[in-house]
Each structure stands twice: as structure tokens, then as C-alpha cells.
Amino acid sequence: MRVRKKPWAKKELETNPHIVQECTKYKGRWAEYFGNDAPIYVEIGCGKGGFITQNAAQYPEANFIGIERQSSVIAVAARKAGDGLPNLALICYDAAKLADIFEVGEITRLYINFCDPWPKKRYAKRRLTHRGFLQSYREIFGEKGEIFFKTDNRGLFEFSLNEFCADHWELSNISLDLHHSDWEGNIMTEYEKKFSEQGMPIYRLEARCSK
């Protein structure tokens, strides 16, 4: 997707308090950054920030970090977040390099929402639920951790189920049509709203690992 350049984005990235400058220097020090020992939940590819911001507002007892590699997009997320969310941080970085940002055991949950399905088979290793990525997440979690995954792509969902099972993750709350299930408390992303309005089913699962 082509992202339009925004003339105000540079200033937003430099001055918005939600944007973390030099995020790698906080590796092992995120409790210090937030000023508390609350659990840290991370969204990979947070886009314009609707999902992660709503979570931060609804669950002040946890800390939330949104990661997005496109600077213009994370600038939009930061501007939309507004004030009054001390438990929210936004990072412009490549989420494939989580080990640069977090120490082992520092985060306990990852949200992976509507990631690129990379539909061609030869690109399977680029899917964020490929076992190569799953093993890297497991290493970051340390003793235990969980992934909450949502997609509109059935092929990606089926692929992900197989990958989680192959890497020995425990699955729960699997839904093949989230918005017509009895699941409560769902917070939608921008893409999710768009797809659901088109009548497309939303697939969701939770996966947990432990040593």
C-alpha cells in the first residue's frame, strides 16, 4: 500500500510524547520507561493506532506498545492518540527485529492483526506466523507468552493454525467468524471495520507458549 507523505509527520515524530526516540536504548528498561512493572503488550504493525490506543484506554493496568515501520503512518497514530495515555508508547521500527528492542521476558503478549498474507507459496517465510517468526517470538517471551492473532484471510489463517501446531503452541478461542460468535470485548482495527462492513468473516485465535 502506498502511503502519502504528510508534511507535518516529521515534527510529529520528533515532538509527540507517545513516540519513543531511540527505542533500542530501552531494551531491558521498559519498566523504567513506563514507571511501573505492569505487563507489556505489543502490537506488530499497529498502523494508524486505533486498536492499540483503544486497548491502552480500556486497560490502564497494562502497558501497550505499537510498532509500525512506516513513519508517516506511526505519525498519524501518535496524533490520533491524544493526551492522557501514559501506558501507551509508539515505535517506528521494523517489528521483525524485536530482539533489538526487548530483553528476554520483557513482554508477555503480541498482537498480530491483519498482517500481509503473502499469498504466493514462495513467500511463506515472510508471513508473521511462519514458524521461523514464531520461534523468534518464543525466544523473546522467555518463560511464557501469548499471541492474539486476527485476519480476514482464510488461507493465512489455516496456514497459521498449522504453523502454531507444528511449533507446539497451545491454541484456544479459535473463531472462524468472530463477529458472529459469542466472543465479548473485541476491539476492532481499522482494517477489521472495513472488512466486516463488506460482510467478510474475521478469523481469530490465541496461542500460548511456555518452557
Catalytic residues: 116
Strand 170-175 with 203-210, pairing: antiparallel
User: Distance of alpha carbon 79 from its chain centroid, rounded?
Assistant: 19
Cell digits for 24?
533500542
Q: Give the integer Cα–Cα distance in Å for 177 and 155.
A: 14
**203-210: strand order across its sheet:** 88-92, 63-68, 40-44, 109-113, 144-151, 203-210, 170-175
**18 is written with which cell numbers?**
507517545
The cell for 181 is 460468535
Residue 85 forms beta bridges with which residues? none
Q: Which three cell numbers stand for residue 95?
A: 517489528
H-assigned helices in 82-125: 98-101
Backbone angles phi, psi at 61, to 5 degrees: -80, 0
Cα 118 vs. chain centroid, distance in angstroms?
Answer: 18
> And the C-alpha cell for 187?
476491539
